[in-house]
């Protein structure tokens, strides 16, 4: 027998194997059962704690898959996440980055070695995708960083998120996804930590940029800010001194440039264009407006000094425009004239660019922004140029307000604040918590009768049986013994199926295809039913599981009788094209031999052994000689064997699913709780039938199993006798779905 992983083609092992076999075998760890509802692990002590109720029957398939995934996941961390305890990141955003990356790396490595674990991880990923999508739709999640990390984890595994990412989460995703995907080339937990720090730095930069943009959008707009742009657009000026400006324009004789025709109150050109005594006053008012509410103003009212101050603003804010320097060379007085007109034009152009300079002052984090015009610190301009290209700058509101809330913050304080803000964005319900809630709910709703029987399934073994040439000789001899019975069985089933599988022509219909032979009925006015229809035959859409009891009591004639029945049924099913499996079951230890683990609150800890003689994907002709290795070994646990096979059938696409259990009596595991095991068979059969699986018991030389399977679902097989009546009875089961046998 080969102990290779069951279902090597990549399908999962039965979800009933709550913990994969390798957890306690291939990996040096300990499994402990407790009375709670959650699966947890101590990675450093190599211990997995599993709820006792997880070993119960009656659990849904989803619950079993979640339990399987949790155990595989925690076991994978114990095996492959080799990181010193002191090297673990503290709880927060960095830890979430590392955990998301390490989970992907570990699960990928684990799935490459264990196909069952890979299937469990894929199931959990789809489960979490659905759960989070619903939570997002209900507005239950407000953690952009956590949301982005989960989306990156799903997408990197080829599973697009089922929800629309929030605005900030989308920015995180777009910025960091390419770096996040580098986990596919990692080989250790240390590599995951290094990559996590890089992803964390990217997310931190995005968060800081987003924060600065929000602060800039919240800056108050200065008074008159709109009127600065309106004159350039040819609009009207709403400034309260508009009549005076109109008079000044008339006195100037229209010597102003086109940009100053509307008399912008923020432009100094309108003041200098007139030669009246009011020019100085207007010039002073205009110069105040040209500086806006900029705190860099030195308080001088003369035009030439204003020009120098405006030029200083441009130099301080790192403005690349050189017009300000050229203007200063011509501004030597405050009088009017043509020189003043040029000054007006230049000041007007400075005001047009002034909003950019003022915005740069606001976006910078300098402590000396209040004195910027006279300080002229170039470092302020460098700090302020990072984010001024994506927003419309404000025109210099009062300093010391919302834009300067970071004043006095040291780099260490800033880093600490950003870390706290990112940690807050990573605070959300973990993926495991979603699983724990549903598992706890399922275990809490468990039928008390089902919870009375708890078995340890993590030590169960699945063996794929492989035959040799000697087995082929034994098989050929056994097949000759049942050849007559097989022929009778196949004839009976073919006869029963012939009428149902054959296509039939139904004539004398009022619609359908024209029946040319009945056109004379229309001519003679005898009937108008001259059409026919074709009814397709019914297919035998059925899958079958055959269970062979291989306990010690199945020695001698019983063992041979069961083998012959299995061969006869398998040969008939193969000829009819019905998919089937053959599985023998026993236990690993005899009761009292000292090898059985202690019960520890459970009802069965003696490991079960599943000998798979044929699986659904194996052709019968290729593996049929392996059945010659059936034998009598130790104990039998029929209830759990039926449950395992019923779950296998429920995963099949066929409409009908049938379990045939060949045994000789009461189940036991050598641990003194045979009555509980008998009750468990009854409950298992009831659950399987309620789920759509037909379960039949075949008693070999005994009628004892009838008490567990029910009289209407039981067939008695005298030892060494495979007669025509048995063949007809089996044909009735396969074709009709009901028994037609009375008690012998």
User: Residue 654: how many CB atoms within 10 A of its CB?
Assistant: 15
For residue 363, what pLDDT is reported?
Answer: 39
CA torsion angle for 502, 508, 511, 513 (degrees, to 10)? 60
For residue 214, what pLDDT is reported?
Answer: 81
Instruction: Give DSSP secondary structure letters for 648-685.
Output: HHHTS--SEEEEEEEE-S--B-SSS-HHHHHHHHHHHH
Q: Identify which has the larger pLDDT, 699 or 345.
A: 699
For residue 180, what pLDDT is reported?
Answer: 97
d(CA 296, CA 275): 30
Q: pLDDT category, 591, cuts 50, 70, 90?
A: confident
Helices (H), 114-241: 115-137, 144-156, 167-180, 189-217, 225-229
Among 592, 564, 568, which residue's Cα sits nearest to residue 580? 568
Task: Assess whether pLDDT exceeds 60 at residue 202.
Answer: yes
SS3 705: coil
Q: pLDDT category, 721, cuts 50, 70, 90?
A: low
Task: Classify residue 597 as left (phi > 0), alpha (psi -120 to 50) or beta.
Answer: beta
Q: Which residues contact 562 (CB under 8 A, 6 or more apart)?
A: 548, 549, 554, 630, 662, 700
d(CA 311, CA 319): 10
Upper half-sphere CA count for residue 33 (Cβ side, 13 Å): 20
pLDDT digits (tens, 9 = 90+) for 91-106: 999 999 999 999 999 9
The token pair at 3 is 């102990």
Least confident residue range of 334-343, 554-563, 725-734: 334-343
* Under 8 Å between Cβ of 29 and 405: no
Task: Assess whether pLDDT exceeds 60 at residue 482.
Answer: yes
When the pLDDT of each residue in the chain is averaged and rounded to a whole number, the result is: 74
**Maximum CA pair distance of the chain?**
133
The token pair at 34 is 């407790």
SS3 284: helix
pLDDT digits (tens, 9 = 90+) for 362-392: 433 334 434 333 333 433 434 333 343 343 4
pLDDT digits (tens, 9 = 90+) for 678-720: 999 999 999 999 999 999 998 877 888 899 999 889 888 776 5
Give the mean pLDDT of 542-563: 90
In the chain, pLDDT over 70 holds for what percent of residues? 65
Q: pLDDT category, 628, cuts 50, 70, 90?
A: very high
d(CA 343, CA 335): 11
Give the mean pLDDT of 635-664: 91
Pairing status of strand 47-51 against strand 30-34:
parallel
Q: How many residues does the chain have?
A: 744
- CA 358 vs. chain centroid, Å, equals 48
d(CA 189, CA 426): 21
Q: Which residues contact 361 (CB under 8 A, 6 or more apart)?
A: 294, 296, 316, 317, 369, 372, 380, 384, 396, 399
Q: Identify which has the larger pLDDT, 660 or 404.
A: 660
Task: Assess whether pLDDT exceeds 70 at residue 356.
Answer: no
For residue 538, what pLDDT is reported?
Answer: 62
The token pair at 691 is 């789920």
Task: Assess whether pLDDT exceeds 90 at residue 20.
Answer: no
Pairing status of strand 30-34 against strand 693-700:
unpaired
Question: Could you tell me the CA-to-CA distances from 637 to 533, 598, 677 in Å, in that order?
Answer: 52, 17, 7
d(CA 105, CA 77): 10
Rg (CA), the chain: 43
Least confident residue range of 326-330, 653-657, 672-676: 326-330
Task: Assess whether pLDDT exceeds 60 at residue 438.
Answer: yes
Among 14, 55, 13, which residue's Cα sits nearest to residue 33? 55
In the chain, pLDDT over 90 holds for what percent of residues? 34
For residue 693, what pLDDT is reported?
Answer: 94
Crossing angle for the helix pair 469-481 and 557-576, to the nearest 10 degrees:
90
For residue 109, what pLDDT is reported?
Answer: 92
- CA 34 vs. chain centroid, Å, equals 28
Instruction: Give DSSP secondary structure letters for 79-113.
Output: HH----GGGSPPTTHHHHHHHHHHHHHHHHHHHHH
pLDDT digits (tens, 9 = 90+) for 234-246: 444 443 444 444 4
Task: Assess whether pLDDT exceeds 70 at residue 289.
Answer: no
Give the mean pLDDT of 484-492: 73
d(CA 599, CA 597): 6
d(CA 629, CA 1): 9
The token pair at 610 is 């599943």
For residue 407, what pLDDT is reported?
Answer: 55
- Considering 88-102, 213-227, 562-576, the range whose residues carry the highest mean pLDDT is 88-102
Indicate if the alpha-carbon torsion angle 507, 512, 518, 520 is positive or negative. Answer: positive
Q: CATH classification of 462-497+540-736, choosing from 3.40.50.410, 3.30.465.10, 3.40.50.300, 3.40.50.720?
A: 3.40.50.410
| Element at 51 (helix H, strand E) | strand 47-51
Q: pLDDT category, 286, cuts 50, 70, 90?
A: very low
Q: Identify which has the larger pLDDT, 651 or 345.
A: 651
Among 501, 490, 560, 563, which residue's Cα sits nearest to residue 727? 490
SS3 545: strand
Among 221, 267, 229, 266, which residue's Cα sits nearest to residue 394? 221
Give the mean pLDDT of 558-577: 87
SS3 338: helix
* Under 8 Å between Cβ of 311 and 322: no
Burial 535-570 (b: 16+ CB within 10 A, else e): eeeeebebbbbbbbbbbebbeeebbbbbbbbbbbbb
Residue-range domain boundaries for the chain:
1-80, 89-220+398-431, 243-386, 462-497+540-736, 503-535
d(CA 730, CA 493): 8
pLDDT digits (tens, 9 = 90+) for 107-141: 999 888 887 788 889 999 999 999 999 999 999 99
* Under 8 Å between Cβ of 739 and 715: yes
Least confident residue range of 50-59, 150-159, 626-635: 50-59
For residue 641, what pLDDT is reported?
Answer: 94
723 — phi, psi (to 5°)? Answer: -95, 180
The token pair at 424 is 């807050």
Crossing angle for the helix pair 279-290 and 303-316, to the nearest 10 degrees:
10
Is the overall model pTM greater than 0.95, yes or no? no
pLDDT digits (tens, 9 = 90+) for 251-275: 444 444 444 444 444 433 434 433 4
Task: Assess whether pLDDT exceeds 60 at residue 400.
Answer: no
């Amino acid at each position: 027998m080969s102990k290779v992983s069951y279902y090597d083609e990549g399908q999962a092992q039965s979800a009933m194997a709550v913990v994969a076999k390798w957890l306690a075998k291939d990996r040096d760890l300990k499994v402990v059962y407790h009375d709670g509802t959650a699966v947890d692990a101590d990675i450093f002590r190599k211990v997995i704690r599993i709820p006792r109720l997880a070993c119960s029957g009656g659990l849904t398939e989803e619950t079993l898959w979640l339990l399987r995934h949790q155990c595989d996941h925690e076991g994978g961390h114990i095996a492959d996440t080799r990181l010193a305890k002191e090297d673990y990141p503290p709880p927060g955003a960095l830890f979430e980055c590392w955990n998301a990356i390490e989970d992907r790396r570990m699960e990928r490595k684990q799935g490459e070695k264990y196909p069952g674990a890979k299937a469990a991880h894929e199931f959990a990923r789809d489960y979490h995708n659905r759960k989070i999508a619903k939570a997002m739709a209900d507005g239950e999640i407000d953690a952009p960083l956590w949301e982005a990390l989960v989306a990156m984890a799903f997408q990197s595994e080829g599973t697009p998120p089922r929800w629309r990412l929030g605005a900030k989460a989308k920015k995180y995703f777009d910025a960091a996804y390419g770096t996040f995907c580098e986990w596919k080339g990692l080989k250790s937990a240390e590599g995951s930590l290094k990559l996590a720090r890089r992803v964390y730095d990217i997310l931190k930069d995005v968060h800081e940029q987003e924060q600065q943009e929000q602060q800039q959008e919240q800056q108050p707009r200065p008074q008159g800010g709109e009127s600065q742009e309106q004159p350039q657009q040819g609009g009207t000026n709403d400034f309260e001194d508009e009549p005076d400006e109109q008079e000044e324009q008339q006195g100037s004789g229209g010597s102003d440039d086109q940009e100053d025709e509307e008399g912008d109150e923020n432009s100094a050109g309108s003041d200098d264009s007139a030669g009246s005594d009011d020019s100085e006053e207007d010039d002073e008012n205009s110069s105040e407006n040209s500086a806006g509410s900029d705190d860099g103003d030195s308080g001088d009212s003369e035009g030439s000094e204003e020009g120098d101050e405006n030029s200083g603003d441009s130099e301080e804010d790192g403005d690349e425009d050189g017009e300000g320097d050229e203007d200063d060379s011509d501004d030597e007085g405050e009088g009017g004239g043509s020189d003043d007109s040029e000054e007006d034009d230049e000041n007007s152009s400075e005001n047009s660019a002034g909003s950019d300079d003022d915005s740069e002052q606001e976006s910078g984090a300098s402590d000396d922004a209040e004195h910027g015009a006279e300080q002229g610190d170039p470092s302020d301009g460098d700090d302020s140029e990072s984010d001024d290209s994506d927003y419309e700058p404000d025109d210099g509101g009062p300093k010391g307000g919302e834009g300067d809330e970071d004043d006095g913050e040291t780099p260490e304080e800033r880093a600490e604040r950003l870390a706290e803000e990112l940690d807050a964005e990573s605070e959300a319900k973990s993926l495991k918590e979603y699983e724990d809630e549903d598992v706890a709910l399922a275990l809490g709703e468990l039928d008390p009768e089902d919870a009375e029987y708890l078995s340890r399934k993590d030590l169960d073994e699945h063996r794929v049986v492989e035959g040799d040439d000697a087995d082929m000789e034994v098989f050929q001899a056994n097949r000759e013994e049942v050849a007559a019975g097989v022929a009778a069985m196949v004839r009976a089933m073919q006869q029963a199926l012939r009428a149902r599988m054959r296509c039939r022509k139904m004539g004398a219909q009022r619609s359908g295809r024209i029946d040319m032979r009945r056109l004379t009925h229309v001519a003679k006015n005898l009937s108008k039913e001259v059409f026919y229809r074709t009814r397709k035959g019914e297919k035998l859409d059925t899958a079958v599981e055959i269970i062979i009891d291989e306990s010690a009591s199945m020695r001698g004639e019983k063992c041979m009788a069961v083998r012959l029945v299995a061969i006869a049924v398998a040969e008939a099913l193969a000829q009819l094209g019905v998919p089937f499996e053959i599985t023998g079951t026993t236990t690993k230890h005899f009761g009292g031999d000292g090898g059985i683990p202690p019960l520890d609150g459970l009802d069965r800890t003696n490991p079960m052994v599943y000998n798979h003689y044929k699986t659904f994907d194996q052709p019968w002709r290729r593996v049929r000689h392996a059945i010659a290795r059936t034998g009598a070994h130790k104990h039998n646990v029929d209830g759990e064997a039926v449950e395992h096979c019923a779950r296998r059938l429920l995963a099949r696409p066929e409409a009908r699913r049938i379990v045939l259990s060949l045994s000789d009596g009461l189940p036991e595991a050598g641990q003194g709780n045979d009555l509980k095991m008998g009750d468990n068979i009854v409950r298992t059969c009831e659950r399987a039938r309620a789920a759509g699986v037909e379960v039949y018991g075949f008693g070999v030389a005994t009628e004892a199993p009838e008490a567990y399977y029910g009289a209407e679902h039981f067939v008695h097989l005298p030892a060494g006798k495979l007669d025509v009546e048995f063949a007809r009875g089996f044909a009735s089961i396969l074709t009709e779905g009901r028994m037609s046998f009375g008690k012998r």
